[in-house]
A and B are shown apart, each in its own frame.
Chain A
Amino acid sequence: MKRRNFLKMSAITSGAVCLNVGGFNAAARAQFGPGDNPTLVVIYLRGGQDQLNTIIPHKDKKYYEIRPSVSIKEENSIALDDQWAFHPALEPLKSWYDKGKVAVVVNSGSPHSTRSHFDAQDFMEYAAPGNRTVRDGWLNRYLAATVPDASKGYGLPELRTLAMQELLPRSLRGRYPVLAVPNNLDGLQEVLDLFDGFYGGDEKKDLAAFLKQSTNVRSGVDADPVMTSGRETIYGLRRLQEVLKGENPEDLNNLAFQEYPAGHFASRMKKLASAIKSGVGLEVAATDIGGWDHHIGLGSVDGALDRMLKFLSEGLSAFMNDLGSHLDRTMVLVCTEFGRVCKENGNAGADHGHGGAMWLLGGKVNGGKIYGKWTGLQDSVLNQKRDLPVTTDFRDIFAEVLQGHMKFEVPDGFFPKYKAKANSLGLFA
């Protein structure tokens, strides 16, 4: 299909649909031209990522006491200051931290006390702790609330949002259609063409419907979800293929293996970097990394955590390098549902805890700094005498990212029963 038509169509339609989406009034939001919009990439570490062995309170004797076999010895960790040190596997991020491009919020998390992965993930990704009626992810709500205003000369970019995996994370699920990108993008051309007639059809009518879908009518009578899903698959993947080919004319099939490490995570980050650099208007992207549930074998300098942090930090560092000047408008937010119990259990692991670490990289973040109120490891201050307490509500961070980085004035009701505080942490001073 022709992109020009698409943009023309979107210019006609999107002005009309940007009002009253997502159940609250569309919010004031700065307008951006194509190619200079801010982008947010959310990486979810599923399973409950352990804070204590990642951002280490290396001068605290108690830390070594309660983690006799899995603590990171002082000589092995990477000291940041008199209080904090990185796990050695985070070495690739140290220089970014020194350059002020990395910030960490310790003891962050949910006010809800659940230790269930699934609840905690839901609550965080819907940004509605304890509330089971919200069914649109917080990133999806943001997208629905900020359909660009065509009257200001900027149409709806077709790739505003991408999930770099086969299924959407809950944060991106909801009324605004989000493309789930299969790992093997190449080689899909034939089927996309073949099934166009079955799921697509009349281009004009489809585009109108597609754009209508983009807002709040997904459950309408004429919107058959199977057809819709097929249509979105075709339009979205075709466009993404074009974009990636444009950025990487020589080598679409072997994207990840130059400056990036091997593996799906790096390959996804590489594709995202290409999409961002192409100026297609990508605003929100997400990907998951599973397997952080280290009840067993968390390990010290050589365990499971070490391995996983290594590919995370190497992938992130390569991504930031690749972005070059685009890094200023691109922010990566790394979150997890909860941290782990402070004391190690009998298996060189740790059970589900409460407070955890959230990471912000790139953009205009005021980095090189550890944020969040740290209260130490004494039993008396721990949550239920076992976990790091939550001293920063994750919604404070989400709100600050939306306001400080995405330039989105978070309206009341965006976070149910929660009023976003302006700049409470000062991440974007």
Chain B
Amino acid sequence: MEFIKRRTICWGLCILAFTPFVSAQEEQEDATKFGREAREGTPSLWRDSEKPLDQRERIHHLLSRVTFGVTDATIYEVEQLGVDKWLEQQLEGAADETEALQDRLAKIPSLTMSNQEIVQTYRVPVPPLRRNASPEERKRRAEARAKQEVPKNDLKDTVLLTAVYGKNQLREVVCDFWRNHFNIDVSKGNVKYYATEYERDVIRGEALGTFNAMLNKQARHPAMLVYLDNYISRAAPQKELLEAAQRALFSTRDFGAAMEAVDIAKMKGINENYARELMELHTLGVDNDYTQEDVITVANILTGWTLQQNPKEPIVFQFRKDMHGSEPRMLLNKRVPSIPRNPEMEGQFVLNMLVSHEATSKFLAYKLCRYLVSDDPPEDLVERVAKVYMRKKSDMKEMYKAVLMDEEFYNPKNYQSKFKRPSEFIASALRVTDAEIESTGGVHAALLQMSEPIYQCEDPTGYYDQADAWRDPGVMAPRWSFSLGLGLEQIRGVRIPASYWEGLKQGNPVQWKEMLTNRILPGGCTEKTSEALDAVIAKYARFNPEPEQLGRYIVGILLGSPEFQRQ
């Protein structure tokens, strides 16, 4: 956090001039156009879609959207505390985490490490592969490569485990939203060494804070600087630097850092990648007011926004004047001043402009409503949320509240209308079965197979958050495999605890079915599902299975049922 403090001091100089939200916004003439439109929702099947939600349904609906899977325990919690109080606690991220989760996370050393510590610990040199390498050599090489993957795998595990076991479910859900919004991909270059801190400081650190802070932090975070190439974007070529960096290549033990230095030195011009996505994906939304020229302008202004990559020093944001070209420029029809004494502030000026731009408020409000309410959110709700964003100076909690406490949220049309994304499906299946994840490999493999591995979305858009994109014919097959596999304990490293089957010690199959249905589908199910389940039970009952064995089949089927695909 040291660098944040340092930054704050620098900002102090200019803060008065550049604090966003100080002036009233100019009128935006164009109605904001948004990137994607949903075509159709997923209609709710087993209830009259006009009938207002009753109290139980309201709780079920809220929990469907702000948790990774509605469990008996969470319903009980809300009933005990009352909806408002529960929501308040969730918005503060104030619920106590279980000891089991805390212990588990405490055993992952990389989680609390800085970028520098991670690089020092895990970016071990990999010996080159020689043609006649001995088995010993090959083994050492494999071990070194595996070590480099450790922080990435730790991070993926943490995201998975907190989504499933975390008590602050709302925070986990919005973290998922922002992770997609400010997407990075740990498969790209050195991102994997910086992603742990990115998750901790940028995503988790600000998901209940302000958008302004999150935007500023991601713009300066090594993970994002590398992922979208801004770290090598420079105004002027530097021959001496390149030569020095290339010389260093031959004398270094840390080849990764030296290569990064060469990359930076070689960069002869601007790289537009980050500048474009900053406007298109992070703030204004595609085509909202900006042009290709604006992209080039922003890229120029952000030259020199790079990272200190020598592992002997903290690996943090660094503004490099020698890479930056300073001149006054026009952006979005406004003048961005040249600030030769502190040129980093030119970029700060741009971030402030974007944060307080009305198109940003609408774009974020739309995406958030699409995520929490419906694939095709009502315009007036979006507008109300956008206004809250402007009025409350990008305070995220206020935005979440504006969505979740709006009566439109509880419109019966929205009830069980969203098709779960693969990650939501898997997390909810693990939650409703009290599954114990002893090792995570099997779950990660399933996510990969369903095209949504954690922190590995190649496109800067992040994963789709609309049903349409995930509901193609064919996609159900891997879900069913996972469902049945989970019930029958065939997912590597995952088991359902014995206590889950306690209730099957007495009673008969009909009662077991009812008990398990209530647990897995607290919103109820259609007659068709119920009858089909009866048929399967009847078929298996002929073989006189152990109650637990039958229960496992029932669970596997319920997880694969149409109802469980919805939220």
By a beta-carbon cutoff of 8 Å, the part of chain A in contact with chain B is 113-119, 132-133, 135, 163, 166-168, 173, 177-184, 187-188, 190-192, 194-195, 197-199, 201, 218-219, 221, 224-230, 232-234, 236-237, 290-291, 295-296, 345-348, 351-352, 384
Question: In the complex, what residues of B have CB within 8 A of residue A198's CB?
Answer: 528-529, 532-533, 557, 560-562
Interface centre among A197, A218, A234 (most CB of B within 10 A): A197
Interface centre among B237, B267, B471 (most CB of A within 10 A): B471
The residue in chain B whose Cβ has the minimal distance to the Cβ of A230 is B476
9 of the cross-chain contacts (CB-CB < 8 Å) are A118-B35, A166-B478, A180-B474, A183-B449, A221-B43, A229-B471, A229-B476, A237-B477, A345-B268
The residue in chain A whose Cβ has the minimal distance to the Cβ of B535 is A197
> Are B272 and A184 in contact, CB atoms less than 8 angstroms apart?
no
Q: Which of A118, A178, A194, A351 contacts B480, CB < 8 Å?
A: A194
Contacts A132-B37, A199-B562, A347-B271: A233 and B529 contacting too (C-beta < 8 A)? no
Q: Mark B346-365, 1 if CB is under 8 A from A, else 0.
A: 00000000000000000000
Question: In the complex, what residues of B have CB within 8 A of residue A163's CB?
Answer: 472, 474
Question: In the complex, what residues of B have CB within 8 A of residue A346's CB?
Answer: 232, 234, 237, 266-269, 271
Q: Interface extent on B, as a size class?
A: 35 or more
- Measured in the bound complex, the distance between the Cα atoms of B483 and A230 in whole Å is 14
> Are A345 and B269 in contact, CB atoms less than 8 angstroms apart?
yes
Q: Mark B270-301, 1 if CB is under 8 A from A, else 0.
A: 01110010001000001100001001000000
Q: Which of B450, B468, B477 contacts A192, CB < 8 Å?
A: B477
Query: Is B149 part of the contact surface with A, judged by Cβ < 8 Å?
Result: no
- Measured in the bound complex, the distance between the Cα atoms of B560 and A197 in whole Å is 12
> Are B449 and A166 in contact, CB atoms less than 8 angstroms apart?
yes
The residue in chain B whose Cβ has the minimal distance to the Cβ of A291 is B458
> Are B535 and A180 in contact, CB atoms less than 8 angstroms apart?
no
Q: Which of A191, A226, A352 contacts B471, CB < 8 Å?
A: A226
Q: Which of B237, B273, B533 contacts A351, CB < 8 Å?
A: B273
Question: In the complex, what residues of B have CB within 8 A of residue A114's CB?
Answer: 287
- Would you list which residues of chain B between 516 and 530 have a CB under 8 Å from chain A? 528-529
> Are B449 and A182 in contact, CB atoms less than 8 angstroms apart?
yes
Q: Which of A115, A195, A197 contacts B295, CB < 8 Å?
A: A115
> Are B43 and A224 in contact, CB atoms less than 8 angstroms apart?
yes
Shortest C-beta distance, A119 to chain B (Å), equals: 6
Shortest C-beta distance, A143 to chain B (Å), equals: 13
> Are A236 and B474 in contact, CB atoms less than 8 angstroms apart?
yes
Q: Mark B469-495, 1 if CB is under 8 A from A, else 0.
A: 111111111101101100000000000
- Measured in the bound complex, the distance between the Cα atoms of B476 and A177 in whole Å is 14
Q: Which of A167, A232, A345 contacts B469, CB < 8 Å?
A: A167
Query: Is B136 part of the contact surface with A, judged by Cβ < 8 Å?
Result: no
Question: In the complex, what residues of A have CB within 8 A of residue B533's CB?
Answer: 198
By a beta-carbon cutoff of 8 Å, the part of chain B in contact with chain A is 33, 35, 37, 39-40, 42-43, 45, 229, 232, 234, 237, 263, 266-269, 271-273, 276, 280, 286-287, 292, 295, 419, 449-451, 458-459, 461, 467-478, 480-481, 483-484, 528-529, 532-533, 535-536, 557, 560-562, 565-566
Shortest C-beta distance, A290 to chain B (Å), equals: 6
Question: In the complex, what residues of B have CB within 8 A of residue A119's CB?
Answer: 286-287
- Measured in the bound complex, the distance between the Cα atoms of B451 and A236 in whole Å is 20
> Are A167 and B272 in contact, CB atoms less than 8 angstroms apart?
no
> Are B474 and A182 in contact, CB atoms less than 8 angstroms apart?
yes
Shortest C-beta distance, A23 to chain B (Å), equals: 13
The residue in chain A whose Cβ has the minimal distance to the Cβ of B268 is A346
> Are B272 and A182 in contact, CB atoms less than 8 angstroms apart?
no
Shortest C-beta distance, B136 to chain A (Å), equals: 28
Ranked 8 nearest A-B pairs via Cβ: A232-B473, A180-B474, A346-B268, A346-B267, A191-B480, A197-B532, A233-B476, A180-B472
> Are B473 and A233 in contact, CB atoms less than 8 angstroms apart?
yes
- Measured in the bound complex, the distance between the Cα atoms of B483 and A163 in whole Å is 24
> Are A295 and B449 in contact, CB atoms less than 8 angstroms apart?
no
> Are A194 and B472 in contact, CB atoms less than 8 angstroms apart?
no
Question: In the complex, what residues of B have CB within 8 A of residue A236's CB?
Answer: 473-474
Question: In the complex, what residues of A have CB within 8 A of residue B535's CB?
Answer: 197
Shortest C-beta distance, B440 to chain A (Å), equals: 20
Question: In the complex, what residues of A have CB within 8 A of residue B449's CB?
Answer: 166, 182-184
Known: A219-B39, A346-B234. 11 other contacts (CB 8 A): A190-B484, A191-B477, A191-B560, A194-B484, A225-B42, A226-B419, A230-B562, A345-B267, A345-B271, A347-B266, A348-B266
Shortest C-beta distance, A184 to chain B (Å), equals: 7
- Measured in the bound complex, the distance between the Cα atoms of B212 and A292 in whole Å is 33
Interface centre among A115, A133, A194 (most CB of B within 10 A): A194
Q: Which of B267, B272, B474, B562 contacts A226, CB < 8 Å?
A: B562
Question: In the complex, what residues of A have CB within 8 A of residue B42's CB?
Answer: 224-226
> Are A351 and B292 in contact, CB atoms less than 8 angstroms apart?
no
Question: In the complex, what residues of B have CB within 8 A of residue A226's CB?
Answer: 42, 419, 471, 562, 565-566
Q: Which of A132, A167, A201, A230 contacts B451, CB < 8 Å?
A: A167
